Structure 1
Amino acid sequence: MKTANQILANLRSGALSAVDLMAETYDQIARVNPKVNAITGLLDRDAALDLARQADQSDATGPLHGLPIAIKDLANAEGFVTTRGSPLFANDKPAPADDIMVARMRAAGALVIGKTNAPEFGLGSHTTNPVFGPTRNPWDLSRTAGGSSGGAAVALATGMLALADGSDMMGSLRNPAGWTNTYGLRPSFGAVPSEPHADSFLTQLATNGPMARTPEDLAMLLSVQAGDDPRQPHFTPLPKADSPKPLRIGWLADWDGAYQMEAGILDTCSEALAAFSALGHAVVPLSAGFSAEAIWESWITLRSWQVSTLLAPLEALPNGRTSLNRQAIWELDRGKAMSAHEVHKASVTRSQWYKQAAHLFEQVDVLALPTAQVWPFDVTLDWPQEIAGTALDTYHRWMEVVVPASLLGLPALAVPAGFGAAGLPIGLQLIGPRGSDFSLIQMAQPYHDAVDWTDRLPPAV
């Protein structure tokens, strides 16, 4: 399976035409998508081939020129319906304009051919919704692919796309990457602008970002997506990485026992870290020195408060509340019931955790955690009810391991960590200080080249 950089090099040299690439892409989608249900709202094949012919005839030289791409169904792409996985929007008119990130990819030459499936409103790391149904894991079609960028990750893993966009509030780039043997980067907050809608100052939990099959491809897409937007008050510049050097990786494992983990996950991630050690990096066990429960309480307060502000207008629509799923109702009711003092208290905890994380980055260069606390679960389930016999108290507690980076807006790179006893993949999060995105990607490329599991193809292919 060729990388995006290889495909684009062939397009630039003339060894491959955009028309031939588009035909190959649609052939692959026809073979694989009926099994996995990752791409939705697909452009008619003839219309897509017309786009490719125009690309072949153009003198444009954008970094993504001629490359087919599908946009996560939470973002607007001109000419495509943004359903958000909800019946409330399933019959909307096509979006009249691109979101900022989509416009940047299109300006770089990408050819938008459809959308990728996501959970309803992006809630829950399991890509299923009442509009399109579930996206299935190509490594085992009876399992979930994660979410909310599950459609994007599966499209990458199965060769239907060479690059994909995603978004991440609570592991939505990292979890599906980990469960499909691909790469996903949650960028530093402010590096990739979101839309200048509603509040732009207080809500700092979610961000858009790139997904790919290799770190080098990830870096290329991040370079297209990132950059200042004058309408956004927060901007984090991303300097290019320094010359490669050995780094210190702090392995947080299960956070001193605070995170329940299914059997085999920590062992698989430890083997991945051994591969980093073999490349010259120092891996050291590290105690976070901060309460996981305090981080969790801060997170679910700020998350519910933010999500409820987005869902409240929908509740006011005719049949609005009855159209919302259980996850949305849970977030909505919690958020609406919060006082300003509760939100402030949660942000104080966040500030304290940021201070402690800064202290950790004085000891190590990178923090490491698994991308999930469970293996890919049954696709028919709404969410896991327990981990290793311990009952879970919310629909997303099994994703608690992604919260420390999300709460602080830190860059977190999900890399494939290998496969468990059942042949299912899991990922490893590499977390750095703000602005270290390209350094994380740089350290991941030699790892990608060194380990044998990154070249494996899923059975669904």
Structure 2
Amino acid sequence: MSGLIELGATELATAMATGRTSAVEVMGAFLDRIAAVNGPVNAIVALRDRDSLLADAAQADAVPLDRRGPLHGLPMAVKDLTAVKGIRSTWGSPILADNIPDKDDMLPRRLRAAGAILIGKTNTPEFGLGSQSYNPIYGATATPYDLTRTSGGSSGGAAAALAARMLPLADGSDMMGSLRNPAAFCNVYGFRPTWGRVPVDPVGDTFLDQLATGGPMARSIVDLARLLNVLAVPDPRLPHGRPVEAFDQGLDIDPKGLRIGWLGDWGGAYAMEPGILDLCQSALDGFTAMGCIVESVAPPFPAERLWDAWTTLRSWSAATKLAPWHANPKTRDLLKPEAIWEVERGLALSAMEVHRASVLRSGWNVAAADLFTRFDVLALPTAQVWPFAKTQPWPTAIAGRPMDSYHRWMEVVIPASLLGLPALAVPAGFGADGLPMGMQLIGPRGQDHRVLQLGQAWHRATDWPGCRPPAL
């Protein structure tokens, strides 16, 4: 096995720039790794042919140093919820099974402009619905730490490819934990940036819907910040942009004195499988040893009100995107039940019901603002269950408590999602059976860099992603 696949994106970029390796060597190493392990993991889909990718890498090697971008020569696969020119882009749906776009969406345009070589796609659930990456086009993606269990979702292919050393860096997206849950299930980092930080093409509504965002995944915070620099450039055509920041600068700080508010299971509102809270508590002890001040926090807002607001706004959002497929009987029959459920709930909503949900969200924003006067960062588990069987669509119960929807088992991620707060999923270690789990570090809106600084201190103290999957 080539040692190149163990290197992160920043290390590879330096090695190529100094002549210690080449883009051709890097591409060959990762393609060899994909050929060796992707079968049972099923993370990379729509992979381009080897000869064309090596030819692209040779062209990258010919580019002068002063014209190379921050991702120059790095092989990357884009999450399959994004249109990539010339690469099959399905959104995990049989409706789009044969879709090959003739132009790139904004994210792949930015990756290419930064020098990345796009090799294919990473697997995702149908239209990104659900935190289990399976679909009728490509099947299910496994966590490399147990090939019988799910990698999570909806950025499950991205997280699994990173953990299995099939990619040095990956993009993802997050509405309901889709950058965070798979990071926990695959022992890597996933960062949901402040909403509006990562722009998309200005198509349709750009004012109202503020739930989903793109973001980076990596095996180190330095690499995470490197990709965020590329993605987080404001577009003047969008109304909620954020100023440019150098996220990879000034990451190393002494975290002594930083205040962390531990929300746990939200006063028992969030059912947790045994061992998850204990593992997170051990991680918090690690933060305390680093000099942070950790304090348990009582539930700051009623969980059911958060859930009420979330399910209303999510269904409304889903309906705005999927209603045309639902309206056509031929394509409606190709939608999975969860998609139909979301669309029909969304179509039944009145404008005043959506307004009421946003009022509830506004109340939570006030409560969260008060919390952030006392704490620099809030902490929650990243998931409520350990990685489960990849043949199971979603957990129907947690610790004996029934789950009343396909996504209730991921309720712990919605406090950050509802407000568009920056949330970093950090690995917290492994349970008794060797399965990984993580914890969310959540900051005030706009304080992405501060959250990444705390994540960098944690990475330097632990480097959990350095624990390679024993299954591979």
TM bin, normalised by shorter chain, reads over 0.9
Who is 1:16 aligned against? 21
Give the letter aligned to residue 424 of structure 2.
L
- The one of 92, 106, 127 aligned to 1:121: 127
CA distance in 1, matches of 2:246, 2:103: 31
Q: Deviations over 1:153-197 (max 9, x none)?
A: 000001000000000000000000011000000010000002212
Residues 36 and 136 of structure 1 are in contact (CA less than 8 Å); yes or no, is this contact kept in structure 2? yes
For structure 2, the residue ranges without an aligned partner over 5 or more in a row are 1-5
Quote the offset at 1:427 in angstroms: 0.7
Residues 41 and 147 of structure 2 are in contact (CA less than 8 Å); yes or no, is this contact kept in structure 1? yes
- The one of 436, 441, 446 aligned to 1:435: 446
- The one of 164, 167, 170 aligned to 1:164: 170
What TM-score do the two structures reach when normalised by structure 1? 0.98
Residues 326 and 340 of structure 2 are in contact (CA less than 8 Å); yes or no, is this contact kept in structure 1? no
| 3-state secondary structure, aligned to 1:320 | helix
| 3-state secondary structure, aligned to 1:35 | helix
Residues 244 and 442 of structure 1 are in contact (CA less than 8 Å); yes or no, is this contact kept in structure 2? no
Who is 1:136 aligned against? 142
Who is 1:82 aligned against? 89
**How do 1:103-118 and structure 2 match up within 5 A?**
103-118=109-124
Who is 1:319 aligned against? 330
CA distance in 1, matches of 2:167, 2:463: 22
Who is 1:356 aligned against? 367
Who is 2:3 aligned against? none
CA distance in 2, matches of 1:238, 1:295: 31
Question: Could you tell which deviates more after superposition, 285-294 or 202-211?
Answer: 285-294
Give the letter aligned to residue 6 of structure 1.
E
- The one of 370, 384, 390 aligned to 1:379: 390
Q: Alpha carbon RMSD of aligned pairs, Å?
A: 1.2
1:283 pairs with 2:294 = yes
Residues 251 and 367 of structure 1 are in contact (CA less than 8 Å); yes or no, is this contact kept in structure 2? yes
**How do 1:41-440 and structure 2 match up within 5 A?**
41-59=46-64, 60-92=67-99, 94-237=100-243, 239=245, 244-246=254-256, 247-440=258-451
For structure 1, the residue ranges without an aligned partner over 5 or more in a row are none
CA distance in 2, matches of 1:401, 1:174: 11
Q: Deviations over 1:229-287 (max 9, x none)?
A: 02211112364577544310000000011110000000001111111111111111012
| 3-state secondary structure, aligned to 2:171 | strand
Give every structure 1 segment of 4 or more consecutive aligned residues whose post-TM-superposition deviation is greater than 6 Å.
none
CA distance in 1, matches of 2:245, 2:267: 33
CA distance in 1, matches of 2:308, 2:243: 30
Residues 185 and 435 of structure 2 are in contact (CA less than 8 Å); yes or no, is this contact kept in structure 1? yes
Question: Could you tell which deviates more after superposition, 404-413 or 225-234?
Answer: 225-234
- How many residues in Structure 1 have an aligned counterpart in Structure 2? 460
Residues 18 and 56 of structure 1 are in contact (CA less than 8 Å); yes or no, is this contact kept in structure 2? yes
Q: Deviations over 1:415-446 (max 9, x none)?
A: 00111111100110000011111211111122
Quote the offset at 1:81 in angstroms: 1.9
CA distance in 2, matches of 1:250, 1:167: 26
Residues 238 and 435 of structure 1 are in contact (CA less than 8 Å); yes or no, is this contact kept in structure 2? no
CA distance in 2, matches of 1:227, 1:137: 32
Q: Deviations over 1:211-240 (max 9, x none)?
A: 000111101110111011022111123645
Question: Could you tell which deviates more after superposition, 176-185 or 432-441?
Answer: 432-441
What TM-score do the two structures reach when normalised by structure 2? 0.96
